[in-house]
Chain A
Amino acid sequence: MKADNSFPPSPLAKRLTVLQGIDKAAYTALQNFLPSIDESAKAEDQIALVDLLCQTFTEEPAGTLALIERLDGLVPEPVSVKELRRWALDGLQRHRTAHSKRLQYFETSDPLGFADPETKFDTDQVLAHRATLLHYLTGFGVTDLQIDLHAPQVGPTSPKRISVSNDFLLIPQRWSGFSANGLHERKLMYRAAVAHAAAHLLYSPQHLPAGNRHPMLLAMMGLIEDARVERLMAEKYPGLVTLWGRFHVATRESVGFDLEGLAARLAHALHDPKYDDKNDWVLLGKQMFEDAATNLHDTLEFEIIGRRLAVECTEMRLPFDANRYCVMPAYRDDNVLLWDFNAELSESAEDTKVLDHFELRKQKKEPLHPLPEVEINLQAKRLYPEWDYKLDTLHEDWATVILASGQRPKSKVRHFSKSHELHNSLRFNSLARIPDRSLRLKRLYEGDELDIDAAVESIVQRAGGLAPEPRIFMRHGRRRRSTAILLLMDLSESTKRFVPGSFISVLDIEKRAATLVADSLDASRDRVAVHGFSSNGRNEVHYVSIKDFDDTFGPEQKTKLKNQEGHLSTRIGAAFRHASVLLKEEISERKIILLLTDGEPSDVDVFEEDYLVEDARHAVASAKAVGIDSFCLTLDRNADSYVRRIFGSRNYLIADKAGSFADSTAQTLVKLIGK
């Protein structure tokens, strides 16, 4: 089957042409690859696959070539193109800085992990509960920990338990040994796991050199340590006992006599004094633990118990498979936090049973690797998510917004700009004003309440035979709501061209509109910022602040505005998200982002037609959710199709004549603020 005649000329052929312009090698590889796609594959799937390959190619050409080879004509059977896309984008994001790892990912990693619907469900649930769990952790005094998912892996070595480090709490994509019956049970599990992790972070000695200790010894010491920190934690948070207790269900009948089963039973026995287990090994562990538990802070005593239990296991000849061993119950973490597997244990320390971990800690201070030389970048960066409509997911930290140097951090002090050029003030609709009880309009003919002092005077006048004063009412005044407007200017290459039918460039028109907005608003009530953006792929969204909320619109800002030039592309979503973060910090009653642009969003690393439009739509919707309104003023005559999708049917204005753009801006402002 030949690519030329078997595929419809559009849109697949169109995409291939685009790719040809970018890289010949990839184009050739894809040309050779396409005919081998299964004939039964649907046209949408073929297009989606080409889309995906184009997307990965711009970021990871070598990896994409490797992927094309691996695909060998077929998407591996259980994985759909959609899941393949999720896998590929996860790899790009996870190894965004390490090129070699990224290549390796495309060469060897298995996309199967993304095909399992249960895994998908598990990961979605974790992400949905992440904010709650972070709040929960904060309550235990752990404030600087991120919660994330383990790297996807399939097979026996895949992580099955939570891992805790000093910066991250990693949750497995598929949590084995735990079947959540309903949402309530799942939430309990998450809380049990997070509380256990917090116990380790608060009470466990961390990163002791593991040396050449046998994995079984580490497992036993971990088991005892788990029980010890839980006891300590329960002293302060007694309710956690019942929470953890819910998951201690191991009994002789349910888990049996292998090492994993016995460990689970011992964990149960240490947790619940009422649980009665007749096994000698469990009884020994329980007895020793309770003896040592008089002083829960003496870690040495507990290490001895771990050692003794390991010795007993060896004598019972219980097989131990370090790869298969899985800590029970499922809420407990893999105890990687306790050990440093790179540090050597000194021989004497290995021999003596009395370990002084304070000494051992000193070893840790010697750096294992020389510190990498890092070039300090003076430009501040912010990471923002991006919406992938094909997967219906938000890619975390996908786009990088680079703040132009010289942009200083926002000061806390809020002051209104002191520009008094009010001659240009716009007239606002008085009906749109809101009542303000601190404004009192007294001595009125009509009103909501009696003005008591005027009423008394009026009656006194009448009693004195004078004509009584009829204006004895009062009501509360109204004022216009304070507004913060962030004017976001598109500074892409295309703004250099002339507006049809004139000799003024789009950028100049934008500048005029910006000047109008900054000058005409009442500086004592409204706050205006003028920012601009342009982009060069997702890792380089440039964002420049021309006038900040706290700046006056003075000569410096005017010069800065004048000096802006158009270059690069238009990634609206990322810039919009940054703008809404800035605007969120404002305390005005209305917050508006006003976007000035000349065309639809586009960027060098995106091929899919609707990707950036959908992402921008998502950014606008997210801003709306936190009370930020958006409006778009565009010079693109054909903008109807996409601005309506991004901003909604009423929140845009197409001004296709250069002359009327300033007027349109003024109208828009009145409409926006008066709303």
Chain B
Amino acid sequence: MDKALRPYLIESEPYYRETGNEVALFEAAYFHGLPMMLKGPTGCGKTRFVEHMAWRLKLPLITMACNEDMTASDLVGRFLLDTHGTVWHDGPLTKAVRFGAMCYLDEIVEARQDTTVVIHPLTDERRLLPLDRCGELVKAHPDFRLVVSYNPGYQSAAKDMKPSTRQRFGAIAFDFPKASIEAEVVAHEGKVPFEMAAKLVAVAQQSRSLCGRGLDEGISTRMMIHAAHLVANKIDIHDACRLAMTAPITDDRELLEALDGFVEAQFGLELE
């Protein structure tokens, strides 16, 4: 492996609890060089899954969080100046292509559609990255893989992928796992007893039934883990749930009261 990629290697195993056959599917896609698209609600474990797979496949992982300001140069690289004149600097995508790493574009729909078009020649059987600025044609390293993720929940007409981009990917749809598995994850990550985690999950599941009734998305696994951390640090459970789970997801007073009611339905009355 090139030493430029060494810092991107993941050394210890990131915890990931498999909920179906997603690990086997991803490995099969990896074997065939198929770029992958992961979609699912926020905080359900997409990024953790990618980290886990990079570790499992012993690939360096280069992550880019996409945003509206991102340009194609930010991905592939640009000329910069040093004392001798202009020097070409590889962008993160070029680095991954040249030396063989897994490139992960998080929240890809946030980037402008014309930016993401640069990945097209990389994601069909050509596996090439043309750098027109410096007149170079980079052939992808055999280990190079592309993974993108997005949340289909809050897309608008303005933020979507072009069909031509979509059709280059294989996709795995993520969702919150079933209650017992989710509680296992919260207990492990939040370092709380399983019973406590199961109650947090029950609150989250009640909140998810309010989706589309004023709530865009229910309480995610990540939020529960935050709450569990607070509880493990001796914060009162009602305060922890309010801080990490109910208050962040909505500003609507009526919804907040109902969410506090769900916390109460698991953990009892709040001490006055």
B95 at the interface (CB under 8 A from A): no
Q: Residue on B with the closest CB to A456?
A: B79
Is B137 an interface residue, CB under 8 A from the partner?
Answer: no
Quick check: is A516 within 8 A (CB to CB) of the other chain? Answer: no
A137-161 vs B, Cβ < 8 Å mask (1 yes, 0 no)? 0111101000000000000000000
Q: How many residues of chain A are within 8 Å of chain B by beta carbon? A: 34
**CB <8 Å contact, A243 and B214:** no
Question: CA A437 – CA B269 in complex, angstroms?
Answer: 47
| A191 close to B269 (CB less than 8 A) | no
Mask of A457-479 contacts with B, CB within 8 angstroms, 1/0? 00110010000000000000000
Across the interface, name the chain A residue whose C-beta is closest to B115: A438
Give the distance to chain A from B12, nearest Cβ to Cβ, in Å.
Answer: 37
B262 contacts chain A at the CB level, 8 A cutoff: yes
- A239-B254 in contact (CB<8A): no
Centre residue among A238, A414, A460 by max chain B CB count within 10 A? A238
- Contact assessment for A242 and B261 in the assembled complex, using a CB-CB cutoff below 8 Å: no
Most chain-B Cβ atoms within 10 A of its Cβ — which of A135, A141, A191, A241? A135
Q: How far, in whole Å, are A131 and B258 apart by their CA atoms in the complex?
A: 9
A139–B210 CB distance below 8 A:
yes
Partner of A239, one of B73, B207, B258, B264: B264
Q: Which of A136, A187, A452, A453 has the most CB of B within 10 A?
A: A136
Out of B68, B73, B213, name the residue touching A135 (CB < 8 Å).
Answer: B213
Q: Say whether B209 contacts A243, CB under 8 Å.
A: no
Q: Are A139 and B268 in contact (CB under 8 A)?
A: no
Give chain B residues whose Cβ lies under 8 Å from the Cβ of A141: 209
Q: Are B206 and A139 in contact, CB atoms less than 8 angstroms apart?
A: yes
Partner of A187, one of B80, B156, B257: B257
Q: Which of B78, B255, B265 contacts A456 (CB 8 A)?
A: B78
- Which residue of the partner chain, among B69, B202, B209, B253, contacts A138 with CB atoms under 8 Å? B209
Q: Chain A binding site: helix, strand, loop or mixed by DSSP?
A: helix
**A236 near B257 (CB under 8 angstroms)?**
no
A195 lies within 8 A of B265 (CB): yes
By the criterion CB–CB under 8 Å, are A243 and B202 in contact?
no
Proximity string of chain A (184-209) to chain B, C-beta cutoff 8 Å, 1 when within and 0 when not: 10011001000100000000000000
User: Is B39 interfacial (CB-CB < 8 Å)?
Assistant: no
Chain B residues with Cβ below 8 Å from A240 are 264-265
Q: Which of A417-465 contact B (CB under 8 A)?
A: 437-438, 452-453, 456, 459-460, 463
Q: How far is the CA of A456 from the CA of B210 in the complex (A)?
A: 53
Assembled-state Cα–Cα distance A438/B109 (Å): 13
| B15 is an interface residue with CB less than 8 A from chain A | no
Known contacts A241-B268, A242-B268; is-contact A139 B261 (Cβ 8 Å): yes
Closest to A464 in B: B85
Cβ-defined contact, B68 with A437, below 8 A: yes
CA distance A478 to B213 in the complex (A): 34
Q: In the complex, which residues of chain A have a beta carbon less than 8 angstroms from the beta carbon of B253?
A: 132
Inter-chain contact B261/A136, CB cutoff 8 Å: yes
Asked if A587 CB lies within 8 Å of chain B CBs, one says yes
**Residues of chain B from 93 to 143 with CB closer than 8 A to chain A in the complex:** 112
- Residue contact B209 to A236, C-beta cutoff 8 Å: no
Chain A residues whose CB sits within 8 angstroms of the CB of B78 once the complex forms: 452-453, 456
A133 to B79, CA, bound (A): 60
B79: chain A residues within 8 A (beta carbon): 453, 456
- Is A132 within 8 A of B202, CB to CB? no
Flag B66-96 by CB within 8 Å of A: 1 or 0 each: 0011000100001111000110000000000
- The interface residues of chain A lying within 8 Å CB-to-CB of B199 are 238-239
Q: In angstroms, how far is the closest chain B Cβ from the Cβ of A486?
A: 20
Is A389 part of the binding interface, using a Cβ–Cβ cutoff of 8 Å?
no
Residue of B nearest to A135 (CB): B258
A438 and B86 within 8 A (CB): no
Residue of B nearest to A241 (CB): B268
User: Shortest beta-carbon distance, A477 to chain B, in Å?
Assistant: 12
CB of B209 within 8 A of CB of A139, answer yes
A94 contacts partner chain B, Cβ-Cβ < 8 Å: no
| A191 CB contact (under 8 Å) in B86, B112, B214, B264 | B264
Q: Does A324 contact B (CB under 8 A)?
A: no
Please give, as numbers and ranges, the residues of chain A lying within 8 Å of B262 by CB-CB distance.
136, 139
Q: Is A237 an interface residue (CB 8 A)?
A: yes
Chain B residues whose C-beta falls within 8 Å of the C-beta of A140 in the assembled complex:
206
- Bound CA–CA A236/B265 (angstroms): 9
Beta-carbon contacts of B127-164 to A below 8 Å, as 1s and 0s?
A: 00000000000000000000000000000110000000
- Taking a contact as CB atoms closer than 8 A, the residue among B69, B85, B86, B258 that contacts A139 in the complex is B258
Whether A460 contacts B86 in the complex (CB less than 8 A), given A139-B209, A238-B268, A239-B265, comes out as yes
- Does B269 lie within 8 Å of A438, measured CB to CB? no
Residue in A132, A237, A437, A459 whose CB lies within 8 Å of B254: A132
Cβ 8 A contact of A242, one of B112, B210, B269: B269
How distant is the Cα of A243 from the Cα of B238 in the complex, in angstroms? 14
C-alpha gap A187/B253 in the complex (Å): 13
Cα distance, A239 to B264, chains bound together (Å): 6
Contact with B along A236-270 (1 / 0, CB 8 A): 11111111001000000000000000000000000
Contacts of B112 in A (CB 8 A): 438
With A437-B68, A437-B69, A438-B112: A239-B268 Cβ-Cβ less than 8 Å? yes
CA distance A437 to B68 in the complex (A): 7
Chain A neighbourhood of B73, CB < 8 A: 452-453
Asked if B266 lies at the interface with its beta carbon under 8 angstroms from chain A, I say yes
Residues of B contacting A463 with CB < 8 Å? Answer: 85
Docked complex Cα distance between A243 and B267 (Å): 10
Given contacts A139-B207, A139-B262, contact A236 B202 (CB under 8 A): yes
Rounded to whole angstroms, the CA-CA distance of A241 and B267 in the bound complex is: 9
- Expressed in whole angstroms, the Cα–Cα distance for A141 and B157 within the complex equals 32
Q: Is the Cβ of B213 less than 8 Å from the Cβ of A138?
A: yes
Contact with A along B9-49 (1 / 0, CB 8 A): 00000000000000000000000000000000000000000
Q: With A135-B210, A237-B202 given, can you name 19 additional A-B contacts, CB distance below 8 Å? A: A132-B253, A136-B257, A139-B210, A141-B209, A195-B265, A238-B199, A239-B269, A242-B269, A243-B264, A243-B268, A243-B269, A246-B269, A437-B68, A437-B69, A452-B78, A459-B81, A460-B85, A460-B86, A463-B85
A-B contact pairs, 21 of them (CB 8 A): A136-B261, A138-B213, A139-B206, A139-B210, A139-B258, A139-B261, A187-B257, A237-B266, A238-B199, A239-B199, A239-B266, A239-B267, A240-B264, A241-B268, A242-B268, A243-B268, A438-B68, A453-B78, A456-B80, A587-B156, A587-B157
Q: Which 6 A-B pairs have the closest CB atoms?
A: A135-B258, A242-B268, A139-B206, A237-B265, A239-B268, A131-B254
Q: Which residues of A contact B (CB under 8 A)?
A: 131-133, 135-136, 138-141, 143, 184, 187-188, 191, 195, 236-243, 246, 414, 437-438, 452-453, 456, 459-460, 463, 587
